[in-house]
C-alpha cells in the first residue's frame, strides 16, 4: 500500500527592512502592513484617531492597535518619534 504524500506547509517570512532608529542604532523591522502604512500616513497628516477610523472604515480600537504596532515596529516611544523614523527611512513621503 502506497503512503499518501504529506503536504508540507511553507513557512513564509516577511522580508525585513533595516531602519535607523531615533537613537541612531540599526534595527530590523518587519514590513508594515498596508493598513499600518495608511494609518501612519494619516497620523503624520495630523488626523485624530476617530477621523482615521472613519476615513479607513475601521473601528477606533483597530486604529489604536495599528498605533501600538507602529510604535513597536519602528522602535519608538511616541508617534512623533515613529513619524520621524518613518521619514528618515523613506516609509513616508
Which pLDDT tens digit goes with each residue over 22-71? 556 666 556 788 999 999 999 999 999 999 999 999 999 999 999 999 99
Taking the CB of residue 51, how many other CB atoms lie within 10 A of it? 13
User: Do the domain assignments include residue 8?
Assistant: no
Least confident of 12-16, 69-73, 81-85: 12-16
Does 16 score more than 80 pLDDT? no
How does DSSP classify residue 25? -
Q: How many domains does one find in the chain? A: 1
Domain that holds residue 72: 33-88
Helix (H) / strand (E) element for 17: namely strand 17-20
User: Do the domain assignments include residue 55?
Assistant: yes
User: Do the domain assignments include residue 79?
Assistant: yes
**CA pair distance 9, 87, nearest whole angstrom:** 37
Helix (H) / strand (E) element for 52: namely helix 49-56
Nine-digit cell string for 71: 510604535
User: Do the domain assignments include residue 80?
Assistant: yes
Helix (H, G, I), strand (E, B) or coil at 91: coil
Amino acid at each position: 500500500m502506497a503512503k499518501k504524500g504529506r503536504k508540507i506547509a511553507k513557512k513564509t517570512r516577511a522580508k525585513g527592512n533595516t531602519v535607523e532608529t531615533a537613537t541612531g542604532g540599526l534595527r530590523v523591522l518587519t514590513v508594515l502592513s498596508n493598513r499600518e502604512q495608511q494609518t501612519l500616513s494619516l497620523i503624520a497628516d495630523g488626523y485624530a484617531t476617530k477621523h482615521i477610523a472613519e476615513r479607513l472604515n475601521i473601528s477606533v480600537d483597530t486604529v489604536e492597535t495599528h498605533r501600538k504596532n507602529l510604535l513597536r515596529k519602528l522602535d519608538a516611544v511616541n508617534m512623533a518619534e515613529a513619524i520621524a523614523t518613518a521619514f528618515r527611512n523613506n516609509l513616508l513621503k
